[in-house]
Amino acid sequence: MDTDTRQFADRFTTSLSNAPGLKMWLVRPLQTLLAAGQPVTVDQLAAQAGRPLAEIREALAAMPDTEYDAEGRIIGYGLTFTPTPHRYEVNGRTFYTWCALDTLVFPAILGHTAHVASPCRATGEPVHLAATPDGPTDVEPATAVVSLVTPDAPSSVRVSFCNLVHFFASADAAKDWLAEHPDARVLPVGEAFDVGRPVIEQILAGDTSSDCC
């Protein structure tokens, strides 16, 4: 990673960590349960996280992007059962993710390999890759890039980040979108994964130091 990209990665990590309601310590337990393919109850999450039920309820109350079914069970937080453009197939199950970067970092968090398919935001051309715990492989087209943002005052993870983090078939395909989003940038898929590494490390460490609210 060159100096400019490293500095961008630092800004990205800081910005994401400041997003209201992002509980780093809860991400891995929650996504581990979601990856089993069934809606998650609060009791199940408390057991998986090894935390008191009241603490889990308080954390979820501060996570406005969390998706629930009609019975109040969790069906999405980054990894979701609700269809999005980002298709994420693992262990014979089909899931979706909130953004392009999610597809790259979740395998490192969950310790599995996923097959990813997502359309170029600009052209609709399919982008395919294998996402492994060590990073993406078999990226098609090889020119694919990921858009990333570093908002100064993020309102929530999904609104401020995920809704702006897309796959593009190439940097050239992203030019018009970048013109409309001058604070964003695009990086090759492998470099986008590298930008996400510090966040992966925080989640795996169960780091609560940067939790907000």
CATH of the domain at 21: 3.30.450.410
With respect to residue 61, please indicate whether it lies within any of the assigned structural domains.
yes
- What per-residue confidence (pLDDT) applies to 1? 67
With respect to residue 212, please indicate whether it lies within any of the assigned structural domains.
no
pLDDT band at residue 211 under the 50/70/90 scheme: very low
Q: Could you say which of 4, 43, 102, 194 is catalytic?
A: 102
Whether the pLDDT of residue 143 is over 90: the answer is yes
| Catalytic residue list contains 162 | yes
pTM over cut 0.85: yes
Whether the pLDDT of residue 148 is over 80: the answer is yes
Closest CA to 157 of 201, 102, 209: 102
> Residue 23: helix, strand or coil by DSSP?
coil
> Residue 13: helix, strand or coil by DSSP?
helix
Closest CA to 109 of 4, 14, 32: 32
With respect to residue 213, please indicate whether it lies within any of the assigned structural domains.
no
Q: Could you say which of 43, 69, 99, 138 is catalytic?
A: 99
With respect to residue 210, please indicate whether it lies within any of the assigned structural domains.
no
pLDDT band at residue 35 under the 50/70/90 scheme: very high
With respect to residue 211, please indicate whether it lies within any of the assigned structural domains.
no
Mean pLDDT of 79-91: 97
Question: Within 50-99, where are the H helices?
Answer: 53-61
Q: Hey, what are 213's tokens? A: 């609210």
Mean pLDDT of 111-139: 98
With respect to residue 174, please indicate whether it lies within any of the assigned structural domains.
yes
With respect to residue 103, please indicate whether it lies within any of the assigned structural domains.
yes
Q: Which domain holds residue 124?
A: 3-205
Average pLDDT over the chain, rounded to an integer: 93
Q: Could you say which of 2, 10, 162, 211 is catalytic?
A: 162
**Considering its fold, how many domains does the chain have in total?**
1
Beta-carbon count within 10 A of 175 CB: 12
- What per-residue confidence (pLDDT) applies to 18? 83
> What distance in Å separates the CA atoms of residue 167 and residue 117, rounded to the nearest whole number?
10
- Do 156 and 112 meet the contact criterion of CB atoms below 8 Å apart? no
Mean pLDDT of 147-154: 90
| Catalytic residue list contains 102 | yes
With respect to residue 36, please indicate whether it lies within any of the assigned structural domains.
yes
Nearby residues of 176 by Cβ (< 8 Å), 6 or more positions away: 122
pLDDT band at residue 208 under the 50/70/90 scheme: very low
